[in-house]
């Protein structure tokens, strides 16, 4: 009998893509000032850089194509994909110019994820996976499955979902589900 593998929806920005480091790097490149990561703590993400730079960057061609991979994400998804069906689920539709960039970024950095397992959406309310890993509470709140909140400055202090601080913790917790 075929045993159906459990499914995991994995977010991109702030989870497998280190967008915060990318914001800080681009800001330094453009303005010569290195904003400390603490600037993103306890507030909406778009307020993390001065002068509305976050919003400008996310609409700039090339931003999503060149974001660094989150530490440990590749190793963790390689490991988890042995036991789970991994779906990359990104709320990319708000930034249509990012669609092809995100696709190409995944192809380059997560080549073991095939196109069949990539989902670009608007809101995530209709995603029906068993697990969801995301940094945004608004996405996790809509998930019918078990949720893991990946630590980010903007979710500081929130305790309505199981917090994971890094990819090692995600792997440990999900292996307990097997």
Binding residues vs its own copies (CB under 8 A): 7, 9, 87, 89, 93-94, 96-97, 99-100, 103-104, 114-123, 125-129, 144
Smallest gap from residue 134 Cβ to its own copies (A): 14
Residue nearer to its own copies on the CB measure, 120 or 169: 120
13 in active site = yes
**Three-state DSSP class for residue 122:** coil
Smallest gap from residue 107 Cβ to its own copies (A): 9
Residue nearer to its own copies on the CB measure, 68 or 122: 122
Sign of CA dihedral 82, 147, 134, 176: negative
Q: Give the Cα separation of 162 and 38 in Å (integer).
A: 22
Smallest gap from residue 171 Cβ to its own copies (A): 21
Q: Give the Cα separation of 167 and 136 in Å (integer).
A: 16
Residue nearer to its own copies on the CB measure, 35 or 92: 92
Q: Give the Cα separation of 117 and 1 in Å (integer).
A: 24
Q: Give the Cα separation of 39 and 161 in Å (integer).
A: 23
Residues 20/152, Cβ–Cβ less than 8 Å: yes
Tokens of 65: 């194509």
85 in active site = no
Smallest gap from residue 137 Cβ to its own copies (A): 17
Catalytic annotation, pick one of 13, 18, 134, 135: 13
Catalytic residue IDs: 11, 13
């Amino acid at each position: 009998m075929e045993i159906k593998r459990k499914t995991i929806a994995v977010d991109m920005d702030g989870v497998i893509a280190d967008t915060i480091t990318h914001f800080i790097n681009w800001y330094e490149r453009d303005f010569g000032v290195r904003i400390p990561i603490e600037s993103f703590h306890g507030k909406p993400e778009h307020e993390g850089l001065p002068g509305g730079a976050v919003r400008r960057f996310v609409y700039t061609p090339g931003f999503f194509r060149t974001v660094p991979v989150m530490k440990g994400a590749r190793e963790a998804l390689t490991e988890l994909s042995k036991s789970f069906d991994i779906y990359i689920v990104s709320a990319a539709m708000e930034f249509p110019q990012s669609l092809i960039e995100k696709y190409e970024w995944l192809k380059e950095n997560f080549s073991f994820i095939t196109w069949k397992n990539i989902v670009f959406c608007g809101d995530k309310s209709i995603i029906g996976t068993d697990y969801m890993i995301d940094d945004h509470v608004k996405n996790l709140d809509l998930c019918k499955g078990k949720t893991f909140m990946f630590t980010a400055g903007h979710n500081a202090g929130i305790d309505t979902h199981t917090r994971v601080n890094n990819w090692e913790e995600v792997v440990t917790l999900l292996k307990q589900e097997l």
